[in-house]
Amino acid sequence: MAFISKTIEHYEKLFGIIAIEKGFISPNDLSNALSIQVKEHNENGNQRFIREILFDHDIMSVNQIGEVCKVIFQNNPDYSVTTPLKKKKLLPFNGRVRRSGRI
């Protein structure tokens, strides 16, 4: 599971960097979102994705999130997560969002 955690951590960092490069968020927005993520994890053990926090705080739109995810997966089309039991392809963001749930 450590590999999967590192992979998710990599994508979280990559998501924030690309969002800043595209001008969708500021470095301060990312810092605040990361602080919220850590605080929530420490309080209840759950960790939301950075994109969820940025969306829920009306900092990024669905289209902007989709653009960032598209860049991530276009640059890594063959990227997959390998676990000891199986190999699973990561699916790109499909643009559909439920306001009360995960993106």
What is the structure's pLDDT at 74? Answer: 79
Q: Could you tell me the pTM of the whole model?
A: 0.64
The candidate with the shortest Cα–Cα distance to 100, out of 56, 46, 61, is 56
Alpha helices in the chain (DSSP H): 2-21, 27-44, 50-56, 62-75
Average pLDDT over residues 82-96: 47
Per-residue pLDDT of 14-61, as tens digits, reads: 889 999 999 999 999 999 999 999 899 899 988 888 999 999 999 999
pLDDT above 70: residue 2: no
What is the structure's pLDDT at 36? Answer: 94
pLDDT above 70: residue 65: yes
